[in-house]
Structure 1
Amino acid sequence: MNLTNYHSHSTYCDGSAPLKKFVSEALNQGFTSYGFSSHAPLPFSTNWNMDKDKMEDYLEECCELVVEYKNKIELYLGLEIDYLTDEYNPSSAYFQNLPLDYRIGSVHFVEIDNEQFVDVDCGVELFRENVQKYFNRDYEEVVIRYFEAQRKLILAGGFDFIGHCDKISKNASANAKGILDSSFYKSVVKSYFEFVAQHKCMLEINSKAYELRGMLFPNIEHFELLRELEIPVMVNSDSHKPQLINSGRKEALKALHTAKFDRVMELHDGVWTGVPIHTIYRY
């Protein structure tokens, strides 16, 4: 089985272990390709993003590990970068000038007023409080704002693939029962994926929440639409712990295969390549 992962978080941001621990675990599990992707610095303080003054150390250590393990595993230097505004996103000059192998474009915040932002990728209870406080308990409004930010991310560009693109489904479904089955949500998501396809973007299938919640992002129910729209995908664990770097991958690949996907994207020799699923995992 060919094992890869391009989304993980170390102690440079909110991960639980140093970079080298993730490499060691990747080798132990037989990974062929692995990427580092700490949360990029933000223009305001959070408890999960990397501080800007750590960037030089992060880049240096990643590059040292690439060289140290070059004969054992393909290692890649990435960064998960938030879309906030047209000025702050993966296409910003600061991020484009960093010597990265790839960039993940993600949305964790939505703008509420004049460059004031609220976290929508937080815990379920805090999400509920934020929706009550900033959106007058209107869950449909926050979903609309979230996917508007996702569209702006795509228009801004500067990324290689989009991270956990419908992750708001976790908090929205926990607080507004039945919203994922509503015609409103299905319409918003379908329109968004059509926009993704129109702009020829790659998506990750994020398996972080599979073991605890049985959820993938995008959710499994959207896989057939993604395939019909010919959107290229990859499977990433978004792991914050070394032992979870392969969590949910098998199940995600199986679901993609069931939806008649025939390949997933991987980095090989620095090039994004479509690899047939049947050569990666046999069911």
Structure 2
Amino acid sequence: MSGTYIKSNLHTHSTFCDGKNTIEENVLSAIKKGIKILGFTSHSMYPYYNETYMKPENFSSYCEEIRRLQKKYEQQITLRLAFEVDFIPGISLPGMENYAEFSPDYLIGSVHYIFNRSGNFGVDNTPEIWADGIKKYYSGNVRNAVCDYFTLQKEMLEKGDFALLGHPDLVRKFNEKFPLFDENESWYRTELKEMAKTVAKWGGATEINSGAISRNWLTKPYPGEYFLELLHEYKVPVAVTSDSHSAENLDCNFENSIEMAKKAGYSEIIYDIDKAGYKFCPL
């Protein structure tokens, strides 16, 4: 473990997917903000895509641009080449073998869509899509939809090969402004406890992700305080990330996220991930 806190962000999006800024604009902003390690994690379901994901024909250009900037700014910042890979059963799996030709430093595994026999819908697109999906595919039963979300994450952890679990309670995204369930209910807390156990058994790490804060949906990051306490109880390591989609938000809420980690019991966080594994620094 390093002797001092090292500021980093391992979850960054650019114009190669649904981000607002180019890779180089993000790099320059990170340098100004004192970020020492910046990981680019373009949305991916290679070789498939939708409108917010990176097109298969752009993967090589994405990798080439990151490697170009690694050399250009090597004296000022460390850049990591990575992908945020969606888990879509039977279609997209976050596995290093599936991305071997691009030689990424790491992968983030994420679930953004709920699938059942009737169809699928986005968890974090808009409050309307979230609510309509629950009404259409679950007859309004939000508990069943939320439980299916966690079931998909568990399946991804069982089958995938990745380093970081993305926003593990994404179902909270709209719950402050448009609440559909009570996060203090026993069934939901039971789901969180089982999820924390599964993450611990998997053996990887998750993130304290402030993406919904920068988008003005939440006032606290993913995971919520109770979930984070459980993750610490089960000895799951964490990284503080911003899930940034704009250069100005690369370090959004970092001070509060770090305080939340400390409150949960963490004394160190992951500041870097490469092919050798996790690197930790104290808080």
TM-score, scaled to structure 1: 0.91
The structure with higher relative contact order (CA 8 Å, sep 6+) is 2
Match of residue 133 from structure 2: 130
State whether structure 2 residue 202 is matched by structure 1 residue 196.
no
What is the alpha-carbon distance in structure 1 between the residues aligned to residue 32 and residue 178 of structure 2? Answer: 39
Change (3 A) 1:53 1:3: same
Match of residue 60 from structure 1: 64
Between 1:167-176 and 1:69-78, the stretch displaced more is 167-176
Between 1:133-142 and 1:13-22, the stretch displaced more is 133-142
State whether structure 2 residue 32 is matched by structure 1 residue 36.
no
CA contact (8 A) 2:80 2:274 kept: no
Q: What SS does the aligned partner of 2:183 have? A: helix
Match of residue 156 from structure 1: 159
Match of residue 95 from structure 2: 91
Q: What SS does the aligned partner of 2:92 have? A: coil
CA contact (8 A) 1:90 1:96 kept: no
CA shift, 1:157, in A, is 2.2
Between 1:185-194 and 1:79-88, the stretch displaced more is 79-88
CA shift, 1:224, in A, is 2.0
CA shift, 1:214, in A, is 0.7
Letter matched to residue 41 of structure 2: S
Between 1:89-98 and 1:71-80, the stretch displaced more is 89-98
CA contact (8 A) 2:45 2:93 kept: no
State whether structure 2 residue 85 is matched by structure 1 residue 81.
yes
CA contact (8 A) 2:134 2:141 kept: yes
CA shift, 1:117, in A, is 3.1
Match 1:113 to one of 112, 117, 139: 117
Change (3 A) 1:2 1:92: closer
Between 1:266-275 and 1:201-210, the stretch displaced more is 266-275
Letter matched to residue 104 of structure 1: I
Between 1:42-51 and 1:104-113, the stretch displaced more is 42-51
Match of residue 281 from structure 1: none
Name stretches of at least 5 consecutive residues in structure 2 with no aligned partner: none
The number of residue pairs the alignment matches comes to 276
Match of residue 248 from structure 1: 253
RMSD (Å) for aligned C-alpha atoms: 2.0
State whether structure 2 residue 144 is matched by structure 1 residue 147.
no
TM-score, scaled to structure 2: 0.91
CA shift, 1:199, in A, is 1.7
What is the alpha-carbon distance in structure 2 between the residues aligned to residue 143 and residue 218 of structure 1? Answer: 15
Give the 4+ runs in structure 1 shifted more than 6 A: none
Q: What SS does the aligned partner of 1:31 have? A: coil
Change (3 A) 1:215 1:42: farther
Match 2:172 to one of 169, 173, 185: 169
CA shift, 1:176, in A, is 4.4
CA shift, 1:192, in A, is 0.7
Q: What SS does the aligned partner of 1:209 have? A: helix
What is the alpha-carbon distance in structure 1 between the residues aligned to residue 271 and residue 208 of structure 2? Answer: 12
Letter matched to residue 236 of structure 2: I
Between 1:105-114 and 1:86-95, the stretch displaced more is 86-95
CA contact (8 A) 1:139 1:172 kept: no
Match of residue 208 from structure 1: 211
What is the alpha-carbon distance in structure 2 between the residues aligned to residue 146 and residue 57 of structure 1? Answer: 33
Letter matched to residue 46 of structure 1: N
Change (3 A) 1:88 1:144: same
Change (3 A) 1:12 1:268: closer
State whether structure 2 residue 49 is matched by structure 1 residue 15.
no
What is the alpha-carbon distance in structure 2 between the residues aligned to residue 35 and residue 229 of structure 1? Answer: 26
CA contact (8 A) 1:165 1:203 kept: yes
CA contact (8 A) 1:264 1:276 kept: yes
Q: What SS does the aligned partner of 2:89 have? A: coil
CA contact (8 A) 2:96 2:162 kept: no
Change (3 A) 1:160 1:269: closer
CA contact (8 A) 1:235 1:252 kept: yes
